[in-house]
Chains A and B, each alone.
Chain A
Amino acid sequence: MDMGDARQIIAQRAAREISDGMIVNLGIGIPSLVPDYLDPSISVFFQAENGILGMGPTPKENTDGNLSNAAGYPVTLLTGGSYFDSAVAFGMIRRGCIDVSILGALQVSASGDLANWIVPGKRVPGVGGAMELAYGAKNLITLMTHTEKDGQPKIVEQCTLPITTYHCVKKIITDLAVFSIIGGKLRLDELMPGTTLEEVRAKTGTTFYQ
């Protein structure tokens, strides 16, 4: 499976976590692909931390530099949507108004610690709004490929990368499996189609229960 397919498979599975009436915040990377797979019969409001509640799809024409998502790409506003400043945007995030936050991750530990903001000396993206989304969202789901390109597991006993937030991740969706973290313990919920338990065990850097 190439990387592109893996990302689409993860996004497609993640879309099933979103149900009718939810307020959802999507991070950059794989989470931004999730709307493509949403059940068209449900209604949700996407919140974007740059100041939109009720973010709609990419416009087909009349793109506007002043109407973008948090990654800087043009979007639209749905009926009933609103614009607000950054303090309000994060006020609603910290206060627990977001039903589900879906974030990309670099590593997640067995107890739900999230690392997704820096690879020291290499990638320096910075934390953005991730700490506050992890703190305030009612449900935090992380999406990532199961391993690094060199095969290193990303689900680990203890994160070796700098932590974004401790004990915050509730669900992990990868191209191989879906896990929940319940009471600080990692549980395998599902194997993705074509994956075996042995493969998931071999490619996961920690133990888990079923």
Chain B
Amino acid sequence: MPSFDQEKKTAKKNNRRLIIWLVCGVLFMFGFSYMLVPLYRLVCQQEGINGGSVRAATEVDAGMQVDRSRVIKVTFSTQLHNGIAFRFMPLQHSILIHPGERKLVYFYAENQTGRGITVQAIPSITPVDAARYLKKTECFCFTQQYFYNHEKADMPVYFFIEPSIAKDIKEVTLSYTLFDASGYLKKDQAHFTHGRIEI
């Protein structure tokens, strides 16, 4: 029966065409799951959320006015990830700052691991609504930091809070968690010690 064979052939062809489309869709979605990674970064950076604005240096807008009518208390805190043997603490517990004013604070770090180690500090800001207004021109968290055995250092953070921050925010906490970054060395940053004061 030629017509039957013919029918079977077209059916097979139809199936094949549809399968190819669907498999392409599946492959695209697998790729899409990886595309979510840069997409997520991009959205965070654009919106200034989730630390996107505090992990890289910002330029100070020349027209920025200091708002002396308001004072915000900025509290500093530190944590050690996975209990790495470091002493790590802010030199001041907290400071008062006017929106638009620039302040320099230091964090003290001492390597007690018994070996040279590369660490990375990750900032976190609460409340969430304040996060995008806290900006830094300089920070030890912008790069990985290399510490020789028993090395001590004071590490600077130069920051300001944008005057456009919501009026009801009176207190902000800036917290750093220190991670062991040995497994994730960035070649152009290895043994980076720039900007800090050796003790």
A and B: bona fide binding partners: no
List chain A positions with a Cβ less than 8 A from chain B.
Answer: none
List chain B positions with a Cβ less than 8 A from chain A.
Answer: none
